[in-house]
Amino acid sequence: MTAFENIQLEIEQQIAYITLNRPEVRNALDAKMQQELARAFDYVENKEDIRIVIIQGAGGKAFAAGADIKALHERPTLDALVPGMQGLYTKIEQCTKVTIAVVNGYALGGGCELAMACDLRIATEQAKFGLPELNLGIIPGAGGTQRLPRLIGKGRALDLILTGRMIDGVEAERIGLVNYYTTAEKLDETLASVTSAILKKGPVAVQLAKFAVNRGVDVDMQTAQWIEKLSTAVLFGTEDKEEGTRAFMEKRNAEFMNK
């Protein structure tokens, strides 16, 4: 595994922990960090034994405070058309592993968009979410104008984008931006509860459930139901389906084989 400078990648059993590690600048997402995130996700994607990826920020004050503003100021017009951060977040969203953003501080701009690209979000009382890009004369351009309304609805999304106001973890959970709100003291307990529940499920079923939801939400209902039906058909032919149903009938825990 290649060494990284601006992130840390640690593997513990079936979970990969990616830590954004530029605490001196509130984990701002410069070009190098984005490149390293892409490499880290390429690595975990090819590891069959890794089932969950957790993204967190170092330093205790920020998840990620957004993009490098100086670099953004110097970017020419045509740079907005290259994949860049938007492409990176699409890669993260399409990762076959379950991705969880742990927000224990500021998640602003590109940092908020990174959290939204993950499957689940956990926030503490120290979390602050916001999309302040309009203050810079630009818009959230790494998926923010598209993922936010899909998560919380058009009206609430426009409120947050047009005003640029920050919200805390309590409000973020209330409007559906985060899945779990907890305290910093109980964060590890909450994270362990969520990950252990996921790891007990059939690995192939988890992957296809994520695939069906992500693909189905952007198409018409008829097409979405075909995606669901085809995913179900694939699962009906797996050894995990045989094991899961047999274990249920035998009143024991299933021992899934990821095939």
The CA distance from 107 to 97, in Å, is 22
C-beta neighbour count of 46 within 10 angstroms: 8
The CA distance from 33 to 85, in Å, is 10
| Residue 242 designated active-site | no
| Residue 189 designated active-site | no
Cα→Cα distances 66→1, 54, 79, 148, Å: 27, 18, 17, 16
Cβ(184)–Cβ(125) below 8 Å: yes
- Coil, strand or helix at 16: strand
Please pick, among 24, 133, 189, 243, the residue that the annotation labels catalytic: 133
Please pick, among 24, 36, 93, 113, the residue that the annotation labels catalytic: 113
Residue 91 half-sphere exposure, CB side, CA atoms within 13 Å?
18
Catalytic residue positions, numbered: 113, 133
